[in-house]
Structure 1
Amino acid sequence: MLASKPVGRNASALKYDLLTVMGAYALSQEKGRQRLVLRLMTLVTARYNWTRDELAVGQREIARLWAVDERTVKREMAKLRAMGWLKVKRQGARGRVSEYGLCIERILEDGRSRWADVGPDLEHRLSGADSEPPPDKVVPLPVRSRAEAPDLSDGTEWSLAQALLHAEEPGLYSSWIAGLRRRGRAGGRLTLAAPSRFHATYVNTHLLSRLREACRAVDAGVDEIVVEG
């Protein structure tokens, strides 16, 4: 079953995946539909309240954001409702703006044909599978060569854990782990730095338990791993 609301431990990844699917879908459509979806993506990115799962923005403000007149806003919002991508949660009256909600399941379903084109990792996440995808199915970017074994000269728990991961799963190590850097340690918490926000989101979503297992194998005092982008 597809996720209907971006909440919980995987919320950040779902938001990213949702916008990715919307963009990929738009690029496969004719120009009018492309522009419509781009306008929605811009509105969602700028003004959507993910905690309350609502969009409450006046037509005048949307018109400024989209660089159009209010008549166009009214027409475009009606099209999005007709597509099933937006639903009215509370109709505006007496000076109140209408409140909308994203129909996330419908958006993801409409873009299903593009999931595989984005990559097997996204397809795996959105299919509802609970387990981590096999390393040979994860395709973040083409990796032309294996990363070298980590330098163990500093003797930190992270260097030793990296060495274990490199020996056991070299493909996974090259794609996702080699780029992580030790940022610091506070008690049982080890903080790592990822090269990008997307990289951090993916590691936090799929690989945290594997990293924690490797770290605890070399230092039992590691209780928590935090990956920051």
Structure 2
Amino acid sequence: MQVIRPVGREAAAKKYDMLSAIMAHALAGDQNLQRLVLRLMSLITTRYNWQRNELTMGQREIARLWCVDERTVKREMARLRAMGWLLVKRPGARGRVSVLALDLERIMLDTRAAWGNIGEDYILRVGGEAAAETAPSTVVPFRRPDVLVAGQGVWGRAQALLAAEDRPLYDAWIACLADGGLHEGCQILIAPSRFHATYLRTHILPRLRTALLRADPTVTALRIETG
């Protein structure tokens, strides 16, 4: 999947592509999801800095925009962070609000199931599965089992989520991770080598955290060690 980066000459079109994905995802869901996504889109279109990937807006201002109280703002923003769509780029301090960021890759992954409702041209444009099927390739794929063999408990549920959203990535980098246990809210994963662990920390850590949080909201930390 191509990650949308709303910069360069085609920045405007890329922005519309991402907003279209969010909109289609919401319309395919229930009224609670639709309301949440509408509120997020209001923040994006009024206060989001696309070039810097920053959203800076206080809870009082958000409450005024959404026509709700600040308690509702706290609850909805917590939901967006739990989904992995919003990230804390810089925590708030005295006299200064938090700086948030959008995880564009996570948003596109979560909305992928609804892309077909927009049209095949959209799927091809953003680099979905249809594009991968039609594009010629000289790469010979490795054989893999059709049935996912996942572990038990929190990590087992997270494995199933990760495999469902990107099976090639899962097979290459995640399937070999061993469950080191859950200790006081911290999930420990054992990588087969130092290189493997470093790659995971650098490139895949946000995905792992989001999957664990969705598998069990009480997971507060993740540590990757080597066997």
TM-score by length of 2: 0.55
Structural RMSD (CA): 1.8
Match of 1:56 in 2: 56
Aligned mates of 2:95, 2:2 — CA distance in 1:
36
Match of 2:158 in 1: none
- Asked if structure 1 preserves the Cα contact closer than 8 Å seen for 2:4 and 2:18, the reply is no
Match of 1:81 in 2: 81
Q: How does 1:189-228 map to 2 (within 5 A)?
A: none
Match of 1:44 in 2: 44
Q: Which amino acid is 2:3 matched to?
A: A
Give the SS at the match of 2:72.
helix
> Are 1:32 and 2:32 counterparts?
yes
Aligned-pair CA distance for 1:113: 1.1
| Larger Rg, first or second structure (1 or 2) | 1
Aligned mates of 2:88, 2:5 — CA distance in 1:
16
Aligned-pair CA distance for 1:121: 1.7
% identity of equivalent residues:
61
- Asked if structure 2 preserves the Cα contact closer than 8 Å seen for 1:4 and 1:103, the reply is no
Runs of 4+ in structure 1 over 6 Å off: none
Q: How does 1:106-121 map to 2 (within 5 A)?
A: 106-121=106-121
Q: Which amino acid is 2:48 matched to?
A: Y
Match of 1:72 in 2: 72
Aligned-pair CA distance for 1:98: 0.4
Aligned mates of 2:93, 2:4 — CA distance in 1:
27
Q: Which amino acid is 1:124 matched to?
A: L
Match of 2:21 in 1: 21
Match of 2:12 in 1: 12
Mean CA deviation greater in 64-73 or 111-120: 111-120
Q: Which amino acid is 2:105 matched to?
A: E
Q: Which amino acid is 2:91 matched to?
A: Q
Match of 2:199 in 1: none
Give the SS at the match of 1:5.
coil
Aligned mates of 1:122, 1:8 — CA distance in 2:
19
